[in-house]
C-alpha cells in the first residue's frame, strides 16, 4: 500500500474487549494457511459468527475498546488480511495484537470515543493516514484519530515490518 | 516537554526524532545497542532472516549475540538441531555465541559487560526487563521484530507512562529481596501497571546489591509492566568498574512527568510466597506453612545467582535434605558455578543431598531441568512463574532461596528462622 488515503466501506463489529480467542479460537491453533483461517474469524464471537463466510473484501473494520486482548495469536491478524480488510479502526487495541497487526502490515487506527460517531454499516469512509483523520463521506463527519506514529506509517507503506527491512 | 523520565531519556538518546516526539504512548523508532536470540525462538528468527533477506549481512555482527540458555546440552534431537542452526548461522556472520553452559543470556549481558546502562537491548525473553536493575532498557521481542532487528539494528517502541514507586522502610533477614519482589508484585498487580514502566526509589535501594536489584525487577513482567528501573548509582558504577567499564550515569529529570506515584511501606516486611495458580497470588508465608513439597528448584533469572545459592548453603549446612524432597540447583551462569565452587557452597549443598545441573534458565524454560512428573509432585521454585502445567501438572509455589532451603529440610513449606533455631 503506497497510498496516503484508504477509501473503503465500513463493516461494524462494535464490541468491547474482544479476546483473540473470540477472533480465532485456540482449538484451531494448528491451522496456519490464511485461506483456512479465513472462515473461522469471529467464529467464537456471539452475533458475528457468520463473518467468516461473508464477503468483506476491501472494507474497513470498526471495533470497540481493547480489541484483540489476550494471548498472542498471529492467526487473529492473518485472518483479516485473508479477508482483504484494509484497516481496523477501534477505540483501543491489546498491545500484543497491535504489534502483531502492524508488523504484518495491517493498519490499526485508534479513535477515542469511536462509538459516539454516527458510522453505519457500509458507509463510505476515507482514512487520511498522514493527517490521521477519517472522513465519513455519507454524512460528511470528520473523525479525529490518535496520530498514526511514523514507524507505523513506514511499516504499513512497505507492506509489513519484514518487507520494510528489505529497503532499510 | 523538556524533562524526562528514565525510560524517556534512554529512548531519546537512541532515536533520531526530535524531543517533542518523546511522550507517553507515542511510538518511535529506536537504534538498538544489542540484539540477541537464544535456542527458544532463535532458530525461527534465523529462518525468517534467511527467507526475507537472502544473502544479506546483519546490521552489525558485533552488536548481536546468540545465547542458547533454554535447553542446555540438547537432550532431544529437535533442540540439538536448533542449537546447531544457531552455531552455523553465527559462524557464517561472525556473531558471538555464549554456548551451552554459559548461562542465562540476560545475566551474561551485565556479568560480561555486553550491555551497559543507557543501552537498549532486545531478545526473545519476556524477562529481558530484569536489565532495568542496571538502567538498561531490556525488552522481550517476537520472531518478526528480531529478524527485522538483525537486518536493520532498529525496532519500534511505544513509550510507556512511568509510575514512580517509593519503597519506604527496611527489613531484616530472613526477609530477602525475593520477599520484597513478591510483595511489590502483589501490590503493583493490584494497583495496575499494565503497559507501564516503573522507577524504584527509597533508602532500601542503597542497600541492595546488583543481584538483589535484579530479583526486585524480575517480577514486573508478572504484573504486566514494561520494565522496572533502579536508577544508576554508585553500586551500578562500581559493578561496571570492576569489569573495566566506565558508565555514564542516567537519572530521571527532577520534574519528570510520572503518571502516578505510589509509596509502599516495607518496614519489617515479612516473608512471602506466590501460591498457585498465578505469580501474583502472593500470600504471607504463615498462611501456607506446613504444605508438603517434594520438588525444589533453585535457579532462574530471578534467583539463580551465587548469592542466592549462598543463602541456601548457609541454611543447609549441617542438615540433610528431607528424603521425600528432590532438590535441584541450576546456577544462572558459569561465573556463579565458579563462585560456589570456590567458596565451598557447592560441597555443602552436595553433602546435604542437593543436585547441580548445567547453568541456564532452569524450570522457566518449559522442558528444562525441573520437570517434576505427575500430579503428586508439588514444586517450590525460586523462579518467577508458577503457571499450571509448565513444570508439571501439580501445584507450584514461588519463594526465596532461604524459604526453599528451609522447606527442603522439613519436606514442607517452612520459615527459615524456625529451622536455624534448632
CATH at residue B101: 3.30.499.10
Q: Measured between CA atoms, how close is A138 to chain B, in angstroms?
A: 31
Task: Name the CATH superfamily for A5-167.
Answer: Aconitase, domain 4 (3.20.19.10)
pLDDT confidence bin for A136, thresholds 50/70/90: very high
Q: Which residue of A has its CA nearest to B23?
A: A149
Residue-wise pLDDT for B143-202, tens only, equals: 999 999 999 999 999 999 999 999 999 999 999 999 999 999 999 999 999 899 999 999
Q: Please, what is the average pLDDT of chain B?
A: 94
- Does B142 touch chain A if contact means CB atoms closer than 8 Å? yes
Burial of B254 (0-12, 13-18, 19+ CB in 10 A): exposed
Statement to judge: residues B50 and B184 lie in one domain:
no
- Does B147 touch chain A if contact means CB atoms closer than 8 Å? yes
Last residue in a domain, options B265, B283, B300: B265
Statement to judge: residues B130 and B33 lie in one domain:
yes
Last residue in a domain, options B245, B265, B285: B265
Q: Measured between CA atoms, how close is A151 to chain B, in angstroms?
A: 6
Three-class HEC string of A22-80: HHCCHHHCCCCCHHHHHHHCCCCCCCCCCHHHCCCCCCEEEECCCECECCCCCHHHHHH
Q: Measured between CA atoms, how close is B379 to chain A, in angstroms?
A: 26
List the grid coordinates of A137. Answer: 463521506
Q: Which residue of B has its CA nearest to A95?
A: B195
- pLDDT score for A67: 95
Q: Which residues of A touch B50 (CB under 8 A)?
A: none
Q: Measured between CA atoms, how close is B32 to chain A, in angstroms?
A: 14
**B14, B116 Cβ separation under 8 angstroms:** no
- Across A99-121, average pLDDT: 93
Is the C-alpha dihedral spanning B106, B111, B114, B120 positive or negative?
A: positive
- Give the helix/strand (H/E) hosting B27: strand B27-31
Task: Give φ, ψ of B336 to 5 degrees.
Answer: -65, -40
B148–A152 CB contact, under 8 Å:
no
- Across B35-39, average pLDDT: 95
**A85, A59 Cβ separation under 8 angstroms:** yes
Expressed as residue numbers, the domain containing B197 is 162-265
Closest CA to B212 of B89, B328, B302, B123: B302
Statement to judge: residues B357 and B400 lie in one domain:
yes
Number of domains in chain B: 3
Statement to judge: residues B406 and B381 lie in one domain:
yes
Percent of chain B residues topping a pLDDT of 90: 87
Chain A / chain B CB contacts < 8 angstroms: 51
Last residue in a domain, options B158, B187, B208: B158
Instruction: Determine, yes or no, domain membership for B1.
Output: no
Of B44-58, B194-208, B388-402, which gets the smallest average pLDDT? B388-402
Percent of chain A residues topping a pLDDT of 70: 98
CATH (domain of B250): 3.40.1060.10
Mark residue A70 as left, alpha or beta (left: phi above 0; alpha: psi -120 to 50; beta: remaining).
left
Burial of B367 (0-12, 13-18, 19+ CB in 10 A): middle
H-state helical runs in B128-206: 143-152, 177-191
A162–B147 CB contact, under 8 Å:
yes
List the grid coordinates of B48. Answer: 525468517
Residue-wise pLDDT for B272-300, tens only, equals: 999 999 999 999 999 999 999 999 999 99
Question: How do strand B379-381 and strand B396-398 relate by DSSP bridges?
Answer: parallel
Question: How do strand B137-140 and strand A5-13 relate by DSSP bridges?
Answer: unpaired
Would you call B258 helix, strand, or coil by DSSP? Answer: coil
Would you call B63 helix, strand, or coil by DSSP? Answer: helix
Instruction: Determine, yes or no, domain membership for B370.
Output: yes
Q: Measured between CA atoms, how close is A3 to chain B, in angstroms?
A: 21
B151–A168 CB contact, under 8 Å:
yes
Residue A150: which residues within 8 A CB-CB, separation 6 or more? Answer: B17, B21, B27, B28, B29
List the grid coordinates of A81. Answer: 488480511
- Across A74-95, average pLDDT: 95
Statement to judge: residues B261 and B297 lie in one domain:
no
Higher pLDDT, B74 or A159: A159
Q: Which residue of A has its CA nearest to B195?
A: A95
Question: How do strand A5-13 and strand A124-128 relate by DSSP bridges?
Answer: antiparallel
Q: Which residues of A touch B17 (CB under 8 A)?
A: 150
Q: Which residues of B touch A104 (CB under 8 A)?
A: 144
Task: Give φ, ψ of A44 to 5 degrees.
Answer: -120, 20
pLDDT confidence bin for B367, thresholds 50/70/90: low
Instruction: Determine, yes or no, domain membership for B177.
Output: yes
* Interface probe with B: pick from A72, A92, A148, A149, most Cβ of B within 10 Å: A149
B154–A72 CB contact, under 8 Å:
no
A150–B29 CB contact, under 8 Å:
yes
Paired residues of B121 in beta bridges: B34, B138
A165–B147 CB contact, under 8 Å:
yes
Statement to judge: residues B361 and B235 lie in one domain:
no
Q: What is the Cα–Cα distance from B95 to B80, expressed in whole angstroms?
A: 19
Is the C-alpha dihedral spanning B383, B387, B393, B395 positive or negative?
A: positive
The domains of chain A are located at 5-167
Q: Measured between CA atoms, how close is A14 to chain B, in angstroms?
A: 23
Looking at the predicted structure, is the pLDDT value of residue B370 above 80? no
Q: Which residue of A has its CA nearest to B57?
A: A166
List the grid coordinates of B94. Answer: 561472525
Statement to judge: residues B128 and B166 lie in one domain:
no
- pLDDT score for B243: 95
**B136, B117 Cβ separation under 8 angstroms:** yes
Looking at the predicted structure, is the pLDDT value of residue B107 above 50? yes
Statement to judge: residues B126 and B13 lie in one domain:
yes
- pLDDT score for B376: 87
Question: Cα–Cα distances in Å, from A80 out to A107, B191, B221, B244?
Answer: 11, 35, 29, 52
Statement to judge: residues B321 and B298 lie in one domain:
yes
Chain centroid offset of residue A110 CA: 10
DSSP annotation of B206 reads: G
- Does B154 touch chain A if contact means CB atoms closer than 8 Å? yes
**HSE, side-chain direction, 13 A CA sphere, residue B333:** 20
- pLDDT score for B392: 77
- Does B156 touch chain A if contact means CB atoms closer than 8 Å? yes
Q: Please, what is the average pLDDT of chain A?
A: 93
For residue B148, give the nearest of A100, A150, A162 by CB distance.
A162
Q: Measured between CA atoms, how close is A125 to chain B, in angstroms?
A: 25
- pLDDT score for A71: 80
Residue that the C-alpha cell 469512509 belongs to: A125
Instruction: Determine, yes or no, domain membership for B85.
Output: yes
Statement to judge: residues B197 and B326 lie in one domain:
no
Those residues of chain A whose CB sits closer than 8 Å to some CB in chain B are 72, 95, 99-100, 103-104, 146-147, 149-152, 154-155, 161-166, 168
Q: Which residues of B touch A163 (CB under 8 A)?
A: 52
Closest CA to B7 of B188, B154, B132: B132
- Does B53 touch chain A if contact means CB atoms closer than 8 Å? yes
Closest CA to B403 of B338, B329, B308, B336: B308
- Give the helix/strand (H/E) hosting A135: strand A133-136
Statement to judge: residues B82 and B94 lie in one domain:
yes
pLDDT confidence bin for B422, thresholds 50/70/90: very low
Q: What is the Cα–Cα distance from B422 to B419, expressed in whole angstroms?
A: 6
**A77, A161 Cβ separation under 8 angstroms:** no
Residue that the C-alpha cell 500470600 belongs to: B283
- pLDDT score for B119: 98
Q: Measured between CA atoms, how close is A117 to chain B, in angstroms?
A: 23
B26–A149 CB contact, under 8 Å:
yes
Statement to judge: residues B151 and B218 lie in one domain:
no
Amino acid at each position: 500500500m503506497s497510498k496516503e488515503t484508504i477509501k473503503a466501506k465500513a463493516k461494524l463489529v462494535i464490541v468491547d474487549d474482544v479476546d483473540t480467542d473470540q477472533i480465532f479460537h485456540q482449538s484451531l491453533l494448528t491451522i496456519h494457511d490464511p485461506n483456512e483461517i479465513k472462515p473461522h474469524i469471529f467464529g467464537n464471537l456471539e452475533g458475528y459468527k457468520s463473518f467468516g463466510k461473508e464477503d468483506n473484501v476491501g472494507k474497513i473494520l470498526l471495533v470497540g475498546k481493547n480489541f484483540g486482548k489476550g494471548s498472542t495469536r498471529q492467526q487473529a491478524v492473518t485472518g483479516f488480511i485473508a479477508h482483504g480488510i484494509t484497516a481496523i479502526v477501534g477505540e483501543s487495541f491489546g498491545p500484543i495484537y497491535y504489534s502483531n497487526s502492524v508488523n504484518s502490515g495491517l493498519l490499526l487506527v485508534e479513535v477515542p470515543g469511536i462509538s459516539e460517531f454516527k458510522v453505519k454499516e457500509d458507509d463510505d469512509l476515507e482514512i487520511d493516514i498522514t493527517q490521521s483523520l477519517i472522513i465519513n463521506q455519507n454524512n460528511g463527519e470528520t473523525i479525529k484519530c490518535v496520530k498514526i506514529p511514523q514507524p507505523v506509517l513506514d511499516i504499513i507503506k512497505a507492506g509489513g515490518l519484514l518487507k520494510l527491512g528489505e529497503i532499510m | 516537554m523538556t524533562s524526562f523520565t528514565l525510560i524517556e531519556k534512554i529512548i531519546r538518546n537512541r532515536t533520531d526524532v526530535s524531543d517533542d516526539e518523546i511522550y507517553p504512548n507515542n511510538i518511535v523508532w529506536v537504534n538498538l545497542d544489542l540484539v540477541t536470540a537464544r535456542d527458544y525462538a532463535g532458530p525461527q528468527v534465523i529462518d525468517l532472516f534467511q527467507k526475507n533477506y537472502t544473502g544479506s549481512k546483519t546490521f552489525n555482527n558485533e552488536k548481536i549475540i546468540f545465547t542458547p540458555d533454554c535447553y542446555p546440552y540438547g537432550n532431544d534431537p529437535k533442540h540439538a538441531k536448533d542449537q546447531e542452526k544457531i552455531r552455523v548461522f553465527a559462524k557464517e556472520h561472525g556473531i558471538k555465541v555464549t554456548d551451552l553452559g554459559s548461562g542465562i543470556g540476560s545475566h551474561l549481558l551485565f556479568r560480561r559487560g555486553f550491555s551497559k546502562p543507557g543501552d537498549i537491548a532486545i531478545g526473545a525473553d519476556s524477562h529481558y526487563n530484569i536489565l532495568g536493575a542496571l538502567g538498561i532498557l531490556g525488552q522481550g521481542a517476537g520472531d518478526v521484530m528480531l529478524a527485522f532487528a538483525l537486518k536493520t539494528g532498529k525496532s519500534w517502541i511505544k513509550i510507556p507512562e512511568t509510575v514512580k514507586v517509593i519503597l519506604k522502610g527496611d527489613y531484616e533477614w530472613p526477609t530477602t529481596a525475593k520477599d520484597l519482589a513478591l510483595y511489590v508484585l502483589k501490590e503493583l498487580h493490584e494497583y495496575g501497571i499494565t503497559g507501564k514502566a516503573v522507577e524504584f526509589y527509597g533508602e532500601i535501594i542503597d542497600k541492595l546489591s546488583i543481584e538483589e536489584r535484579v530479583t526486585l525487577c524480575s517480577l514486573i513482567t508478572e504484573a504486566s509492566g514494561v520494565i522496572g528501573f533502579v536508577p544508576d548509582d554508585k553500586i551500578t558504577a562500581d559493578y561496571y568498574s570492576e569489569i573495566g567499564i566506565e558508565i555514564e550515569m542516567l537519572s530521571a529529570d527532577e520534574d519528570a512527568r510520572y503518571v502516578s506515584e505510589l509509596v509502599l511501606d516495607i518496614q519489617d516486611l515479612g516473608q512471602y510466597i506466590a501460591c498457585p495458580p498465578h505469580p501474583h497470588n502472593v500470600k504471607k508465608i504463615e498462611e501456607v506453612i506446613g504444605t508438603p513439597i517434594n520438588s525444589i528448584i533453585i535457579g532462574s533469572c530471578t534467583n539463580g545467582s551465587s548469592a542466592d545459592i549462598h543463602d541456601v548453603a548457609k541454611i543447609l549446612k549441617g542438615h540433610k535434605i528431607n528424603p521425600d524432597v528432590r532438590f535441584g540447583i541450576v546456577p544462572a551462569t558459569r561465573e556463579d558455578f565458579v563462585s560456589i565452587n570456590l567458596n565451598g557452597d557447592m560441597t555443602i549443598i552436595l553433602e546435604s543431598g542437593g543436585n547441580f545441573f548445567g547453568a541456564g534458565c532452569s524450570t522457566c524454560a518449559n522442558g528444562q531441568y525441573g520437570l517434576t512428573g505427575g500430579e503428586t509432585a508439588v514444586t517450590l521454585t525460586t523462579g518467577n512463574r508458577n503457571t499450571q502445567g509448565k513444570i508439571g501438572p501439580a501445584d507450584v509455589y514461588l519463594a526465596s532461596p532461604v524459604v526453599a532451603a528451609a522447606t527442603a529440610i522439613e519436606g514442607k513449606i517452612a520459615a527459615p528462622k524456625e529451622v536455624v533455631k534448632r
